[in-house]
Amino acid sequence: MSALTDKELLRYSRQILLDDWDLEAQIRLKNSTALIVGLGGLGCPVSQILARAGVGRLHLVDFDVIDESNLQRQTLFFEADVGKSKVKTAHKRLREHNELIAIDHTETKLTAENLPKLLTQVSPDLVIDCTDNFSVRDLLNKSCRALGVPLLSNSAIGEVGQIALFTKETGCYQCLFGEEGGDEQTCATSGVLASTVSVIGSMAAQVALDFLGRGRNPIAGKLVLWQGRTMTLRNVQFAQDELCAACSG
């Protein structure tokens, strides 16, 4: 593992100062790779926080272009960016956040064919699902599980959101939601309050930093549920489904 330079010690000093976040945690963070799928409402705050905090390498994946209706909540993009590539614009902005980390990107729509190749090529310590599409969620769950890659799964819609971190010690997305996978609502059809994605994105970043820096899963076996209208946060326990086709046997 490579150590921290003087510039990095200064840049991350407010984290290293923490009682339970020592130099070792910061070095582990520097030597870790996060693959972020989706640079929309959730992907923006997640990637911004991880870039600033010093995750050593970020690999960004998206296929979309920036739309006028994205500007209400997607914090990496400005008015002049409408029509431009999301992943390329995000890459450029994140570079301006922190020049001390490595950033790369793949501009593609993930499929059952290209995802395993991408995971093998990038070799991430954590995949962070920031999409709002069930078929991609299901694809990420199956591929991550097959290759033993931890998956931080997030969703935000309306004023509600949820977060779970699936590792080989826990069940998977399919254990929780079944093969059909819950309802296929998207922000485009159901709407989303601007703050919801930042709340969920920030909490997902907290889980990612803990996992990559300290090597612990603070929500092992739990689904975190946020209800913005009542400002309520709830944890629901879930177990591995012994019959789950994605993660058992």
CB-nearer residue toward Zn ion: 172 or 207: 172
CB of 125 vs Zn ion, minimal distance in Å: 21
CB-nearer residue toward Zn ion: 70 or 143: 143
CB of 215 vs Zn ion, minimal distance in Å: 23
CB of 180 vs Zn ion, minimal distance in Å: 14
User: Pick from 149, 61, 58: which is nearest to 95 by CA?
Assistant: 58
CB-nearer residue toward Zn ion: 91 or 142: 142
The distance of Cα 98 from the centroid of its chain, to the nearest Å, equals 18
Q: In whole angstroms, what is the distance from residue 201 CA to residue 154 CA?
A: 8
CB 77 within 8 A of CB 83: no
Q: Which residue in the block uniquely carries the two structure tokens 């092992």?
A: 220
Long-range contacts of 174-182 (CB under 8 A, 24+ apart): 174/138, 174/141, 174/142, 174/241, 174/244, 174/245, 174/246, 174/247, 175/238, 175/239, 175/240, 175/241, 175/244, 175/246, 175/247, 176/223, 176/238, 179/138, 179/245, 181/134, 181/137, 181/138, 182/134
Encoded tokens for 136: 């991609």
CB of 141 vs Zn ion, minimal distance in Å: 8
CB-nearer residue toward Zn ion: 46 or 246: 246
Q: In whole angstroms, what is the distance from residue 41 CA to residue 48 CA?
A: 12
CB of 139 vs Zn ion, minimal distance in Å: 14
CB-nearer residue toward Zn ion: 33 or 174: 174
Encoded tokens for 181: 């996978």
CB-nearer residue toward Zn ion: 51 or 247: 247
Binding residues vs Zn ion (CB under 5 A) = 171-172, 174-175, 244, 246-247
- Does an H or E element contain 232, and which? strand 232-237
CB of 246 vs Zn ion, minimal distance in Å: 5
CB of 167 vs Zn ion, minimal distance in Å: 12
CB-nearer residue toward Zn ion: 58 or 247: 247
